[in-house]
Amino acid sequence: MHPSNQKHHNAQASALISVLLALAAANQAFAQTPAAADADTIIVTGFRASLQTSLTAKRKDDSIVDVIKAEDIGKFPDNNLSEALQRIPGVAIDRDGGEGRTITVRGLGPQFTRINLNGMEALATSGGRDSSGGANRDCGFDFNVFAAELFSSITVRKTPSAEIEEGSLGATVDLATPRPFDFKGFTMAGQLQGQYNDLSKKKNDRETFTASNRSADGKFGALMSVAFSRNNKIEEGPSTTRWENGSTLASTSAGRFKNVSTDGGVTFLPINTATVAGTANTGTLMGLTGPALDVTKALHPRIPRYGHLIYDESRLGMTGSLQFKPIKGTLITIDGMHSDFTANRIEQYLEALSFSRSGQGTPQTSVYNYTINPAGELAKASFNGVDMRSENRHDQLESIFNQLNLTDQYDDKFDSYNSLFGNVDSNAPLDYSHTGRSYILGLRYKY
Query: Per-residue pLDDT for the chain (447 aa), expressed as one digit of tens each?
Result: 444 444 444 444 444 444 334 434 444 443 444 444 444 655 555 555 555 665 666 566 666 778 877 765 456 656 678 887 887 888 888 888 778 888 888 888 888 888 899 988 888 877 766 555 556 667 778 888 888 888 888 888 887 777 777 777 788 888 999 999 988 889 998 888 888 888 888 888 989 999 999 998 889 999 999 999 998 888 888 988 888 877 654 444 445 688 899 998 899 888 775 554 444 444 456 667 788 888 888 888 888 899 999 989 899 999 999 999 988 889 999 999 999 999 888 989 998 888 776 545 456 788 999 999 999 898 999 998 888 889 898 888 888 999 999 999 888 777 777 888 999 888 876 666 777 777 776 677 777
446 bridge partner residues: 382
**131: Cβ–Cβ under 8 A, 6 or more apart, which residues?**
239, 241
| pLDDT for the residue numbered 130 | 57
Asked if the structure places residue 325 within a domain, the reply is yes
Residue 226: CB atoms within 10 A of its CB come to 20
Please give the Cα distance from 221 to 211 (Å, whole number).
Answer: 11
CA–centroid distance for 261 within its chain = 47
Q: Are 397 and 428 in contact (CB under 8 A)?
A: yes
Q: What CA–CA distances, in Å, run from 310 to 78, 199, 235, 282, 345?
A: 23, 10, 7, 41, 6
Q: Are 88 and 105 in contact (CB under 8 A)?
A: no
The amino acid present at 219, given as its one-letter code, is K
How many folded domains does the chain comprise? 1
Please give the Cα distance from 268 to 262 (Å, whole number).
Answer: 8
Asked if the structure places residue 259 within a domain, the reply is no
Asked if the structure places residue 257 within a domain, the reply is no
Please give the Cα distance from 313 to 158 (Å, whole number).
Answer: 33
Q: Are 422 and 404 in contact (CB under 8 A)?
A: yes
| pLDDT for the residue numbered 240 | 85
**134: Cβ–Cβ under 8 A, 6 or more apart, which residues?**
127, 128
Asked if the structure places residue 276 within a domain, the reply is no
| pLDDT for the residue numbered 171 | 85
Please give the Cα distance from 74 to 176 (Å, whole number).
Answer: 12
pTM: predicted TM-score of the whole model, two decimal places: 0.72
Q: What CA–CA distances, in Å, run from 434 to 138, 234, 311, 371, 391?
A: 23, 19, 16, 38, 11
Asked if the structure places residue 200 within a domain, the reply is yes
CATH number at residue 92: 2.170.130.10
226 bridge partner residues: 209, 318
69 bridge partner residues: 153
Asked if the structure places residue 243 within a domain, the reply is no
Q: Are 366 and 383 in contact (CB under 8 A)?
A: yes
**φ, ψ dihedrals at 422, nearest 5°:** 175, 180
Range of the domain at 69: 46-238+308-349+392-437
| pLDDT for the residue numbered 220 | 94
426 bridge partner residues: 401
Please give the Cα distance from 34 to 54 (Å, whole number).
Answer: 34
Please give the Cα distance from 341 to 280 (Å, whole number).
Answer: 44
| pLDDT for the residue numbered 53 | 67
Please give the Cα distance from 395 to 381 (Å, whole number).
Answer: 35
Number of helices followed by number of strands (H, E) in the chain: 4, 22
The amino acid present at 235, given as its one-letter code, is E
Asked if the structure places residue 130 within a domain, the reply is yes
Asked if the structure places residue 191 within a domain, the reply is yes
Q: Are 383 and 273 in contact (CB under 8 A)?
A: no
| pLDDT for the residue numbered 323 | 95
**139: Cβ–Cβ under 8 A, 6 or more apart, which residues?**
111, 123
